[in-house]
Amino acid sequence: MPEPNYPFEITDVDVDTAELLMKYFTGETTGFVRVGPKGYFFPNKFKQEAINYYTMEIKPSDVFVTSYPRSGTTWTQELVWMVANDLDYETSNAIPLTDRYPFLEFSICVHPDNMQKFTEENSHDESKLELLRLVTKPGTELIADAPSPRFIKSHLPLSLLPPNILDAKMVYVARDPRDVAVSFYHLNKSMRTQGYNGDFKTYWEFFIKDLHHWTPYFDHLKEAWEQRHNANMLFLFYEELSKDLSASIRRVADFFGKTFSDEQIKRLCDHLSIESFKNNNSVNYDVMKELGIMVGKKEFIRKGKAGGWRDYFDEEMTAQADQWIKDNLRDTDLRFPHF
Ligand code: A3P
């Protein structure tokens, strides 16, 4: 039951649908919920944390990087952190991004059955157990005692965060949903918290029917887009970063009131390139592999290209995607830079 002062209804996804989904997504074994008027979709554990997300204390010095998953969050996090911290390469290299930016709601994706497995598997190494406890601890607990400024990663839509969330600074990043789906499909296959075992076409059907974590996709984006003129909100597109990273760095720098020389920006572009990222243990989420949460050959930092979806969509899916995007952009002036 949600707390009495939680303003949104949380309803269980019907048993048949949940059972079908749990056959494909083996990381969840209890079921799923929908939240609020938009029906945001989450694993069952969301119920336990909903009120904590909604009522957590927001400080004006907080910096949130938010997105729908696989939209370039990690890339944006490092960009934002570097800009806000006056290009402190030393600390960036020394402290993993996962420590610098607690992931607010990762804990809801770690089902107790999985937590038990991960704990048993890592039980031979106390330092790994400590790391496991850290990455799976509810984000609201992790940030409660963190020194200011706090840097926080979240995939929650604005409406499920505290109503005064934009007292803090927020950088939201959006990406072509077709590339998002391909990228998230790969991650869903390799993260045991998701444990996806189907093909891409089936995954895509779940995605556009809003039967996937953090969907409905377009509502998520529109909520942030509507706030894009708020002085504390910076709305970016992955495709914009891809096309002209130095221009994006300048936008982020402006947002944080910083000025950098051309040489500083060039060095930051190198630091943020996909090649550097792949080899940078501080940002590439190898921690998930170390703990056995991520398995197989796939990497968290993958291709890093815009438009790769074309290799995954047949003609029918391409037409379906066109229509779905068109329908969802009808009531908004949100436009992707390349559409
Ligand atoms: P692909 O799977 O399409 O390669 P998130 O951080 O939100 O999970 O997003 C992950 C996506 O961003 C992945 O997309 C990943 O490869 C891409 N990405 C991460 N770092 C990047 C970088 N430095 N340059 C370009 N893309 C990057």
Catalytic residue among 111, 124, 155, 186: 155
With 60 as the cut, is the pLDDT of residue 2 above it?
Answer: no
Decide: 75 in ligand 1 pocket, CB within 6 A.
yes
Task: Say whether pLDDT at 4 is over 80.
Answer: no
Is pLDDT above 60 for 110?
yes
Within-domain flag for 122: yes
CB 140 less than 6 A from any atom of ligand 1: no
The CA distance from 325 to 310, in Å, is 15
Instruction: Verify whether residue 213 is a known catalytic residue.
Output: no
* Ligand 1 in reach of 303 Cβ (< 6 A): yes
Give the pLDDT of residue 300.
83
Q: Which pLDDT score, from 0 to 100, does residue 338 have?
A: 77
User: Is 76's C-beta closer than 6 angstroms to any atom of ligand 1?
Assistant: no
Residue 328: pLDDT band with limits 50, 70, 90: very high
**Which atom of ligand 1 is least distant from the CA of 301?**
16
Q: Tell me which residue has its CA closest to atom 24 in ligand 1.
A: 274
1: pLDDT strictly greater than 60: no
Q: Is the pLDDT of residue 333 over 80?
A: yes
Strand arrangement, sheet containing 32-35: 10-12, 32-35, 40-43
Domain carrying residue 228: 52-328
47 falls within a domain: no
Does residue 324 lie within any of the structural domains?
yes
Q: How many helices (H) and strands (E) does the chain have?
A: 17, 7
Q: What is the pLDDT of residue 3?
A: 63
**Whole-angstrom Cα distance, residue 60 to residue 46?**
26
Whether this prediction's pTM lies above 0.90 is answered by yes
CA 37 to chain centre: 21
Number of domains in the chain: 1
- Ligand 1 contacts CB of residue 278 (under 6 A): no
* 219 within some domain: yes
- pLDDT over 90 (residue 203): yes
Nearest-CA residue for ligand 1 atom 27 is 304
Question: Residue 297: its pLDDT value, please?
Answer: 77
Lowest mean pLDDT among 2-11, 77-86, 157-166, 284-293: 2-11
How confident is the model over 162-180, as pLDDT tens digits?
999 999 999 999 999 999 9
The more confident residue out of 339 and 91 is 91
Residue-wise pLDDT tens digits, 111-151: 999 999 999 999 999 999 999 999 999 999 999 989 999 99
8-state DSSP, 250: H
User: Which atom of ligand 1 is nearest the CA belonging to 75?
Assistant: 20
- Is 337 contained in some domain? no
Report yes or no on 203 lying in a domain.
yes
Q: Using one digit for the tens of pLDDT, what is the confidence trace for 285-303?
A: 888 999 999 998 777 888 9
In a domain, 3, yes or no: no
Is residue 277, in this structure, part of any structural domain at all? yes
**CATH code, domain carrying 236:** 3.40.50.300
